[in-house]
Structure 1
Amino acid sequence: MAQYPSIETELLRTFIAIADLGGFTRAAEAVNRTQSAISMQMKRLEEDILQRPLFERDGRHVRLTAEGQVLLGYARRIMALHSEVLNTLREPHMVGTVKIGTPDDYVMRFLPGILSRFAQAYPLVQVEVQCETTLQLLQRHDLDLTIVTREPGNEIGQLLREEPVVWMQAEGYTPLNQKPLPLATFNNGCFCRSWMCNALDTAGIDYRIAYSSPSLSAILAVVGTGLAVTAQLQSLITSNLRIIGTEEGLPTLPSARIMLVRNPRTQSAITEAFADYIMEGFRS
């Protein structure tokens, strides 16, 4: 049987970060290495180990080749199994509670998978989830881990994911024809609400807050009936909605950076284990 070189998990972790973040610079920040260090890692992975090109480079941005796409699927599975083995065997009887705070935006999209995988590895750990706006969460000191949304250049904590914020409306409906433009958004204190209003004010577009709620599901339900438009992270769009934007006369919105903030006063093996699952869940 042919003997192939092994692929270190650190190489796969870096490779996944580059694929998810679209470039070496942001990936270097995410894995806490210099850009030259991860460039050398990927050169070794491409030339010495796999002997296949994994990236197509376009200035500062990179795209995966066909071989890179194949590796990405395997890499995610390997890293998930790697974390599961270590967590299960090193801390099989971990008991306690971890408190996490997150905006409502991410509960439906990301948390179910994270909580399911964590519960399989640590069935005796209780997870308490508090849903509030980023502004409210940053004022709390009783949470072990906090997921917050920040603008590029105003980050705190560890980068989990970067996503565009996009305008959405229901398929088959045109609330854009209404004057002023009806909006469905979170209550005061939400970054999406501020970004929508500021962008529309700058563009000179009249609008009104037609519906507001602390619940993402309620907002998407209203938009899904064609009563209003909203702006949310692109990954939160549902099958009955479509993305709209500059072609319809709407202003471009900033990208959002989702960050994980640790409470230095409550760090433990439990919180670090859960932080690992959060990071993997948001990058998958």
Structure 2
Amino acid sequence: MIRNLDTALIRTFVTVTDRASMTAAANALNLTQGAVSQQIKRLEDVLDCSLFERDRRGLRLTRAGERLFGKGRRLLSLNDEIWAEIAGSAVAGKVRLGVAYDLVGTLLAPVLKAYADTYPQVEISLHCAASPELAAALAAGMIDLAVIEERVGPSAGECLAVDRLVWVGARGGAAHRKRPLPVSMVADTCAFRPAVLSALSEQGLEWRTVFENGNIDATTATVRADLAVTTWLASTVPADLDI
């Protein structure tokens, strides 16, 4: 008997896997979290197997889910390629994309790869900087698009997701107990800086700057070495660090 997979369900499954979150996938797909959960359940019913299981860090693929993920991504890529070619809407050109430092290797990496696979004729030029710098570059016409971080509120752009800002330290570290509190921030232009300074002031905490040079990797290394704490969006915190 011939059976067909619903590519909409596969797309939801791949998106949930990429983001490791039903909520983040719902934002990306412009669906409610309930709709995403229902689509995953429908796909599991069709395939007669569980695709996800939960642990303390969130969603994790089952063995069946792992097998489906790679094939599902290829199926979507082929589906999108057929639509682009047959519908005569092949996309080509150059795009200058600005991305905040901490979003490149976490949330956007799978998105950029999927886009590059789907639209191989598009040349993506990636520019990484702090969010205020990217906003200025966009206004000046130096980049075409920007994915930046802002506090919740009125914005000139479209909100892609809402996330929590959290304190982060080394696994089992002691830096958070030191006074003055050792704090590492990527740069003085960091979008998080006003919120961080406000929180420290409200708590009446003495603090000192340990490292500040605009390099996200160096900041991460400083935190891993338990020399300081820092702040990140909850969804971008490396698995080997504590919130």
Give TM class, smaller chain.
0.5 to 0.7
Q: Which residue of 2 is the match for residue 276 of structure 1?
A: none
Q: 1:18 to 1:225 in 2, by over 3 A?
A: closer
Q: Which moved more, 1:147-156 or 1:187-196?
A: 147-156
Structure 2 CA distance for aligned equivalents of residues 187 and 167 of structure 1: 17
Q: Which residue of 2 is the match for residue 128 of structure 1?
A: 125
Q: 1:88 to 1:113 in 2, by over 3 A?
A: farther
The Cα of 1:133 is off from its aligned counterpart by: 1.9
Q: Give the conservation status (yes or no) of the 8 Å contact 1:186–1:213.
A: yes
Structure 1 unaligned segments of length 5 or more: list them.
246-284
Structure 2 CA distance for aligned equivalents of residues 164 and 144 of structure 1: 27
1:105 aligns to 2:102 (yes or no): yes
The AA in structure 1 aligned to 2:169 is: M
Superimposed CA distance per residue, residues 218-260 of structure 1 (whole angstroms, 9 cap, x where no aligned partner): 323444555333233464538xxx5234xxxxxxxxxxxxxxx
Q: 1:39 to 1:145 in 2, by over 3 A?
A: same
1:179 aligns to 2:176 (yes or no): no
Q: Which residue of 1 is the match for residue 217 of structure 2?
A: 217
Q: 1:205 to 1:85 in 2, by over 3 A?
A: farther
The Cα of 1:204 is off from its aligned counterpart by: 3.3
Q: Give the conservation status (yes or no) of the 8 Å contact 2:84–2:90.
A: no
Alignment equivalent of 2:7, drawn from 6, 9, 13: 9
- Percent of matched pairs sharing the same residue: 30
1:124-273 alignment runs, 5 A limit: 125-139=122-136, 140-141=138-139, 142=141, 143-150=143-150, 156-157=157-158, 159=160, 165-169=166-170, 174-176=174-176, 178-233=178-233, 235=236, 237=238, 242-245=240-243
Q: 1:7 to 1:188 in 2, by over 3 A?
A: same
Q: 1:74 to 1:100 in 2, by over 3 A?
A: same
SS at match of 1:7: coil
Q: 1:222 to 1:44 in 2, by over 3 A?
A: closer
SS at match of 1:5: coil
Q: Give the conservation status (yes or no) of the 8 Å contact 2:27–2:161.
A: no
Q: Give the conservation status (yes or no) of the 8 Å contact 2:50–2:62.
A: yes
The Cα of 1:159 is off from its aligned counterpart by: 2.8
Structure 2 CA distance for aligned equivalents of residues 74 and 222 of structure 1: 39
SS at match of 1:149: coil
Structure 2 CA distance for aligned equivalents of residues 18 and 126 of structure 1: 27
The AA in structure 2 aligned to 1:167 is: V
RMSD between aligned residues: 4.3
The AA in structure 2 aligned to 1:98 is: V
Structure 2 CA distance for aligned equivalents of residues 123 and 15 of structure 1: 23
Structure 1 CA distance for aligned equivalents of residues 66 and 162 of structure 2: 19
Alignment equivalent of 2:28, drawn from 27, 30, 36: 30
The Cα of 1:184 is off from its aligned counterpart by: 1.3
Q: 1:122 to 1:54 in 2, by over 3 A?
A: closer
1:56-71 alignment runs, 5 A limit: 67-68=64-65, 70-71=67-68
Higher relative contact order, structure no. (Cα contacts within 8 Å, ≥ 6 residues apart): 1
Structure 2 unaligned segments of length 5 or more: list them.
none
1:79 aligns to 2:80 (yes or no): no
Q: Which moved more, 1:87-96 or 1:122-131?
A: 87-96
